[in-house]
C-alpha cells in the first residue's frame, strides 16, 4: 500500500470518528435543551399547549391530551378548546359529547374580550354549546333547552363577528 493510500485511509477513519464524536456531543446538547424546555413548559401553560400541538401533529395524541389537560387546568383557553374538539370528534380520546360540552362551558365562563387572541375559541364554544342545547345530549344531564340555545347563538353573533 502506498503512503498516499494510507494517508487517505487515515483521513477517512479520522473524519468518520470526528463526525461520530460531534453527533454524540450534539445529541447531548439537544437532550439538555429538551430537559430545559420540559422544566420551563411546566411553568408556562402556553408552552405546554404548544408542546401538545406538536405532539398532536406528530401523531402522539396521548401525549397531546396530557399536555392539553395540564395547559387547560392552568387557564389556557386554546387547550380547553382543543380538548373539547377532540372529545366531540372522538379524536385520540373516547368520543363524549358531554365531556366536550363541559370543556366548551368552561371556555364560555371565562372573561374574554372580543377582538382578543382567544375570542375565536369563545365564539366556537358558544356555537357548539348552542348546538348541544338545541337537542340535548342523550344519557347526560344536558337536556334540550331551545331558549338557552338561541341565547348562545345570539351571543356568538353579537359579540364575536
Give 36-86 pLDDT, tens digit per residue: 445 544 569 999 999 999 999 999 999 999 999 999 999 999 999 999 999
Distance CA 100, CA 106 (A): 10
Whether residue 12 is predicted with pLDDT greater than 90 in this model: the reply is: no
Least confident of 19-28, 31-40, 55-64, 101-110: 19-28
- The predicted model gives 92-102 an average pLDDT of 98
User: CA nearest 132: which of 158, 159, 96, 160?
Assistant: 96
Distance CA 30, CA 114 (A): 40
- The predicted model gives 132-152 an average pLDDT of 97
Write the burial class of residue 26 (CB in 10 Å: 0-12 exposed, 13-18 middle, 19+ buried): exposed
Note the pTM of the prediction, 2 decimals: 0.72
Least confident of 40-44, 73-77, 96-100, 156-160: 40-44
Tally of CB atoms within 10 A around 6: 10
What percentage of the chain has pLDDT greater than the value 70?
A: 72
More confident residue, 142 or 117: 142
Tally of CB atoms within 10 A around 4: 8
CB of 27 closer than 8 Å to CB of 38: no
pLDDT class of 159 with cuts at 50, 70, 90: confident
Whether residue 5 is predicted with pLDDT greater than 70 in this model: the reply is: no
Whether residue 1 is predicted with pLDDT greater than 90 in this model: the reply is: no
pLDDT at position 39, please? 52
Amino acid at each position: 500500500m502506498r503512503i498516499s493510500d494510507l494517508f487517505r485511509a487515515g483521513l477517512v477513519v479520522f473524519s468518520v470518528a470526528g463526525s461520530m464524536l460531534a453527533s454524540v456531543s450534539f445529541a447531548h446538547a439537544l437532550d439538555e435543551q429538551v430537559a430545559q424546555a420540559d422544566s420551563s413548559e411546566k411553568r408556562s401553560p402556553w408552552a405546554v399547549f404548544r408542546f401538545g400541538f406538536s405532539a398532536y401533529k406528530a401523531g402522539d395524541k396521548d401525549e397531546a391530551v396530557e399536555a392539553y389537560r395540564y395547559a387547560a387546568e392552568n387557564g389556557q383557553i386554546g387547550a380547553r378548546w382543543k380538548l373539547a374538539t377532540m372529545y366531540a370528534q372522538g379524536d385520540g380520546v373516547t368520543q363524549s359529547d358531554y365531556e366536550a360540552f363541559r370543556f366548551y362551558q368552561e371556555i364560555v365562563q371565562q372573561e374574554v374580550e372580543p377582538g382578543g387572541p382567544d375570542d375565536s375559541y369563545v365564539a366556537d364554544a358558544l356555537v357548539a354549546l348552542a348546538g348541544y342545547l338545541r337537542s340535548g345530549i342523550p344519557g347526560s344531564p344536558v337536556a334540550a333547552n331551545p331558549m338557552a340555545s338561541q341565547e348562545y347563538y345570539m351571543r356568538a353573533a353579537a359579540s364575536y363577528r
